[in-house]
Amino acid sequence: MHWHGLSQRTAIFSDGTPLLSQWPIAPLHFFDYEIAPLPDDAGTYFYHSHVGFQTHTSSGPLIVTDNGPPPYRYDEERIIEFGDFFNATDASIESGLVANPFVWSGETHGVMINGVGVATGSVGGTAGCVLPVIDVEPDKTYRLRFIGATALSMAQFGIAGHGKFTIIGADGRYTKPYDVRYMQVSTGQRFEVLFKTKSRADLGNQTDYTMQWEARERPAVYRGFGVLRYCDATPVITTAPSTPPLTFSNTTYNWAECALQPLKPNNFPTASQVTRRIEIRNHQISANSASVIWAASGLQWVDTTAPSGKPYLVSIYEHCPSAIPNYTKALENYGRDPVTKAWPAKIGEVLEVVIYNQPSIVKNNYGLDFHPFHAHGGHYFDIGSGNGTYDPAANELRLKGYNPVLRDTTNLYRYTSAQTVDSLAGWRAWRIRVEDAGVWMIHCHILQHMIMGMQTVWVMGDYEQIASIQHYDAAGYLEYGGSAYGNDSYTPSYVHQFS
């Protein structure tokens, strides 16, 4: 189980990434995770399985509350969690994605809010097929917590008859206020907004307003509807409107781009502090005539990629410094050690990571896709995105006077549907202060793309910095089904890494 957005810097066996930070939990066993949020972590997160396609059904909100008065005033909170519905089992979807010949999962059959929604081709209001409802009261300010827990879909969201949303937080970090007309939430992202309801006088006799959301960046556009209901009134709106009340933009790449800034200074590193730049080029290839995979700089990473067949963190404990990726060889190989197939980084480095979008050489005549990229192990400074090739000097001019907010999930956009083979068709750039030792993952958060291999492993720190638990105490974590994993007849023996 992964605690999305929270750094497990103080409990490195608890990041929930199988074959990276821990062994998978064996059937009929359990594992106790440890989480230690810091005061600056107050915000919106979610938990989810990190095994195959389970994430799409095994997830839920995780809220870290302020340890004092929050910096913004509001009356109440509401959670709006987006989730995809696929009319198939997780296992069948996953088996198709790794099959030869390749079998695509298909597009979403519905984008739900808080587990409720109407599937494609169904009619809301019929038995067992109801519209989701969010209850509010007039004359109040609500803190809406948006969570992108979808497998595939980016959702644009608005409420008919109401005004702006004021963004005050993104990915668990407070921001300066920023107004938007509608929300745009990709899988893995979280946003917090202030939303003012209507006064009693403005309401008159109307108690229901239509919520509308639409999927973007996919060949099929799903449109969903729900109800914003005032005062626990008897529902008036029970079916989806025949004419959508809202119109969203078909352009996604400029929504709140280079607009969100931190509420408090966050030690943003300047270009002169960057110690090295790493490029990761993502494209779709075929391992043989009929399979389809996603590769990051030529590497498809799946659970069986680890050279030893064991979790990276376990190998580091067992083989000590020799299991750490070779930093010198990585510098000669575009940042990745060819032996361990991992990207090493030294504590204290400032990395500039540029993630590139490249055309598929398998499908859709060199077609392009969109990718929400998520980083484990801490937040990064998002320094923007753009079409074509990254120009450091031009981007530095664009950043003048702008202080990026810390994020953990931002989008690698596409700016056209297809491009010429091997071209660089868009970029997303981050600056990372390497501070938290451990074994972390950076990956596309579209589940289908993850299963197809769009994942990278990062080993940050040296052996002494990573192996913070004494080897004797860590022994129960080092074997599959070891003593750190419990079952009905056995209480696990684990190490408290903090108190």
Residue 234 is predicted with a pLDDT of 73
Cα separation, 137 vs 115, in Å, equals 22
Q: Select from 428, 396, 407 the least CA-distant residue to 272.
A: 396
Report pLDDT digits (tens) over 383-432: 999 999 999 999 999 999 999 999 999 999 999 988 888 889 999 999 99
Q: Band the pLDDT of 303: cuts 50, 70, 90.
A: confident
Work out the percent of the chain whose per-residue pLDDT is above 90.
Answer: 84
Mean pLDDT score, 179-191: 99
* HSE-up (13 A, CA, CB side) for residue 293: 17
Q: Select from 3, 451, 438, 417 the least CA-distant residue to 188.
A: 3
Residue 310 is predicted with a pLDDT of 95
Q: Which fold has domain 72-230?
A: Immunoglobulin-like (2.60.40)
Q: Is the pLDDT of residue 153 over 80?
A: yes
Please check whether the two domains, 72-230 and 271-477, share a CATH topology: yes
Q: Does the model's pTM come out above 0.85?
A: yes
Mean pLDDT score, 151-163: 97
Residue 110 is predicted with a pLDDT of 94
Report pLDDT digits (tens) over 329-384: 999 999 999 999 999 999 999 999 999 999 998 866 788 999 999 999 999 999 99
Domain boundaries, the chain: 72-230, 271-477
Residue 305 is predicted with a pLDDT of 85
b/e map of 441-461 (b: 16 or more CB within 10 Å)? bbbbbbbbbbbbbbbbbbbbb
CA 445 to chain centre: 5
Residue 128 is predicted with a pLDDT of 63
Report pLDDT digits (tens) over 78-105: 999 999 999 999 999 999 999 999 999 9
Distance spanning both ends of the chain, measured CA to CA: 21
Residue 124 is predicted with a pLDDT of 58
Report pLDDT digits (tens) over 216-254: 999 989 999 999 999 867 777 788 898 999 999 999 999
Residue 123 is predicted with a pLDDT of 58
Domain covering 271-477 in this structure, CATH number? 2.60.40.420
Q: Is the pLDDT of residue 22 over 90?
A: yes
